[in-house]
Structure 1
Amino acid sequence: MGLFGLLLVLHILASIAIIGFAFVMPIIRRSARTVGQLYFAFGITTKLAIMPKIGGAVLILTGVWLMIITKMGLSQMWLNVSILLSLLMVVMIDGWIEPRMKKIIKLISESQDQDNEIPAEFGLLIKKIVPIERAAQLLMIAIVALMVVKPF
């Protein structure tokens, strides 16, 4: 396996780290039934958040390196659209989802009764994040489809 193959494998593994996190963490959060479980779920999410950050850095570095090696640059429309969708996804995650998550985590950490059911106010805050998470997940699927199919 040459340099191209190694970079491609690293690129794919980095995308798996990001996509896996984005699809699994909302499921873990939604499985919580008590405030304590929700606090634990958010704790896991916070600790594992390093995975997509490292994956994102590796994804960018390997992607740029692959573009240089293949002398492709930004000449392919599918690649330009993929990059644009990726930037939009980063804005959604870092600009919309993460600040709302931090607010929920702060409220949960201040909650006294960890054994009680999740109060409606937490449920409403979490439900406001779900459409944004789904949109980010759809963007991820679109990006992967563009990378695999290279339609234009």
Structure 2
Amino acid sequence: MSLYAIILIIHLVSAVIGLGVSFGMPIVLRLVKTTTQAKFAHEVNVGLEKYAKIGSITLLVTGLVMGALHPYLFKEIWYIASIVIYIAVQPIVAGILPKKTAKQLELLQAHKEEELPEEYQKLTKEMLPLHNVLMVSVVILVVLMSIKPF
């Protein structure tokens, strides 16, 4: 088995783990109905987030290594578009959503009732379009890398 094939397998496994978890995390948070459920969902997501981060970083590194092993990839539109999309969503993944999630956790820690705070629900609604952008981006990336349309 070639080095490229080994890197490709690592890349694919990272996609399944990292992107799969990334799809599930917002769904878990949207299903909560009480403060207790929300606190638990956030705890679960903290554990899952490790897999999402490791998978995401591994995807980038292995993707670039495959490009280094086969430089012609840097001339392929699907490959370049994949890198651009990946980088374009990083401000959402690494900046905006973590700040909103931290604010949600602060609200939950200060809240004593079982009914979710209104501000928590407002933040959840604000995050929904961002999660949708991420999910659509992931689907586009998977399609680009699977069928290599151009």
Shared fold, TM over 0.5: yes
Matched with 1:149 is 147
Matched with 2:136 is 138
Q: Tell me how far apart the structure 1 counterparts of residues 127 and 63 of structure 2 sit (CA, whole Å).
A: 29
Query: TM-score, normalized by length of structure 2?
Result: 0.93
Q: Tell me how far apart the structure 2 counterparts of residues 69 and 125 of structure 1 sit (CA, whole Å).
A: 43
Percent identity of the aligned residues? 26
> How far did residue 73 of structure 1 move?
4.6
Q: Which runs of 5+ in 2 are unaligned?
A: none
Q: Tell me how far apart the structure 1 counterparts of residues 80 and 35 of structure 2 sit (CA, whole Å).
A: 43
Q: Tell me how far apart the structure 1 counterparts of residues 2 and 73 of structure 2 sit (CA, whole Å).
A: 20
Matched with 1:32 is 32
Aligned residue for 1:74, secondary structure, equals helix
Q: Deviations over 1:99-147 (max 9, x none)?
A: 111111111112123xx12132211111110010001110111111111
Matched with 1:60 is 60
**Number of equivalent positions:** 150
Matched with 2:48 is 48
Aligned residue for 2:100, secondary structure, equals helix
Higher helix residue share: 2
Higher RCO, Cα 8 Å, sep 6+ = 1
Q: Tell me how far apart the structure 2 counterparts of residues 21 and 106 of structure 1 sit (CA, whole Å).
A: 24
Q: Which runs of 5+ in 1 are unaligned?
A: none
Q: Tell me how far apart the structure 2 counterparts of residues 60 and 124 of structure 1 sit (CA, whole Å).
A: 33
Moved more, 24-33 or 134-143: 24-33
Aligned residue for 2:72, secondary structure, equals coil
Spell out structure 1 runs of 4+ moving beyond 3 A.
none
Query: TM-score, normalized by length of structure 1?
Result: 0.92
Alignment RMSD, CA only? Answer: 1.3
Opposite residue 61 of structure 2, the aligned amino acid is: L
